[in-house]
Amino acid sequence: MTIPGWYPDPAGSGQMRYWSGYAWTDARYKPSRGLPVAWAPVVMALIGLVVIAIFAIPSDPNRAPTCDGKTMGPGDRCVFANNPSRNFTYEEKLREQADIAAHPWPFIGFGIALFVVGLILAGVSFYNRRRAAHT
């Protein structure tokens, strides 16, 4: 016996049709073509893991900063013509790198939060889908 739920329409309509457990009902719906909503929390959890990995792996705070793919040297300034608020000097970037290397926990905490919230939302979504399939 097949479990009641939504299945591809055996008539080949390209829609989903509800099987009551005994017979096909007239209830149908066309599945969306985009990513299912359930993927959003999974992606959130994966991004959280990436953030954790990036900031948990120690990096060299003294590595030379780059600007537009080119290695900078002492006294150099990186200029963004379309967004001057992003401009920085070699020394400013070195200080920023040292600060991030010395205090990675806010970033790691953010990654952990993304990961946990993503897992919780994925679990709730999975639970709701399973519950809806059995009603």
Boundaries of every domain in the chain: 5-31, 39-130
Range from 2-11, 33-42, 112-121 that averages highest in pLDDT: 112-121
Contact 129, 62 (CB under 8 A): no
pLDDT band at 117 (very low <50, low <70, confident <90, very high): very high
Distance CA 108, CA 9 (A): 47
Distance CA 94, CA 85 (A): 18
Distances (CA, A) of 65 to 18, 78, 94, 95: 59, 10, 7, 10
Name the amino acid, one letter, at 133: A
Q: List, for residues 91-111, the tens digit of each pLDDT value.
A: 999 998 888 888 888 889 999
Q: Output the average pLDDT for the chain.
A: 85
Contacts of 129 (CB under 8 A, 6+ apart): 38
Predicted structure pTM score: 0.51
Q: List, for residues 60-103, the tens digit of each pLDDT value.
A: 777 888 988 899 999 999 998 788 888 999 999 999 888 888 88
Q: Residue 34: pLDDT above 60?
A: no
| Residue 135, pLDDT score | 54
Distances (CA, A) of 121 to 34, 37, 111, 117, 118: 19, 10, 15, 6, 5
Distance CA 70, CA 129 (A): 50
| Residue 92, pLDDT score | 93
